[in-house]
C-alpha cells in the first residue's frame, strides 16, 4: 500500500474518532449543564422523565416539542421517529423492536415544578 494512502486512511480514522468523541462530549456537557432543569413527557398515565437539554438522537435537536416514547422508554420527536420507522422497525438507541401498540402518541413536554 502506498505510504501516502496509508496516512490518508489513518488521518480519516483519527478525524472520525475525534468527531464522534466531540459529539458525545458535547452531549454530556450540555446534559450535565442543564441537569438542574427537568422536563416530563406526559400522556394520560404515561410519563417519561427528560432533562432540559436532552436531544433527539435522530435529528440532534433539543426535545422541547411534541415527542413520542417507545415501549423501551426512549423518546424522540414525533416527526423524527415516524421517518425512522420508514427505514427500520427498531429503536434507534437500543434496537428493541418498535411495537406500534406500545407507542405513546402526542406526548407534550412541560417543565416540572
The domain ranges of the chain are: 3-34, 53-100
Q: Is the pLDDT score of 113 beyond 50?
A: no
Nearest Cα to 108, choosing from 68, 73, 52?
68
Q: Is the pLDDT score of 73 beyond 60?
A: yes
CA 71, chain centre distance (Å): 15
Give me the long-range contacts of 22-31 (CB less than 8 A, separation at least 24): 27/55, 30/55
pLDDT at 26: 55
53-100 — its CATH code? 3.30.40.10
How far is residue 4 from each of residues 9, 11, 45, 102, measured CA to CA in Å? Answer: 9, 10, 60, 53
Q: Cα(23)–Cα(25) distance, rounded to whole angstroms?
A: 5
* pLDDT tens sequence across 80-93: 888 888 888 888 88
* pLDDT tens sequence across 22-69: 555 555 555 554 444 444 444 444 455 566 667 888 888 887 667 788
Amino acid at each position: 500500500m502506498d505510504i501516502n494512502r496509508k496516512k490518508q486512511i489513518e488521518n480519516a480514522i483519527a478525524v472520525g474518532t475525534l468527531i464522534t468523541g466531540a459529539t458525545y462530549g458535547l452531549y454530556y456537557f450540555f446534559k450535565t449543564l442543564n441537569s438542574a432543569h427537568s422536563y416530563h413527557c406526559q400522556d394520560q398515565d404515561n410519563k417519561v422523565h427528560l432533562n432540559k437539554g436532552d436531544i433527539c438522537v435522530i435529528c440532534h435537536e433539543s426535545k422541547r416539542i411534541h415527542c413520542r416514547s417507545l415501549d423501551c422508554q426512549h423518546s424522540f420527536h414525533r416527526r423524527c421517529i415516524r421517518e425512522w420507522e420508514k427505514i427500520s422497525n427498531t429503536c434507534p438507541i437500543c434496537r428493541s423492536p418498535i411495537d406500534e401498540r406500545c407507542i405513546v402518541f402526542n406526548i407534550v413536554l412541560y417543565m416540572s415544578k
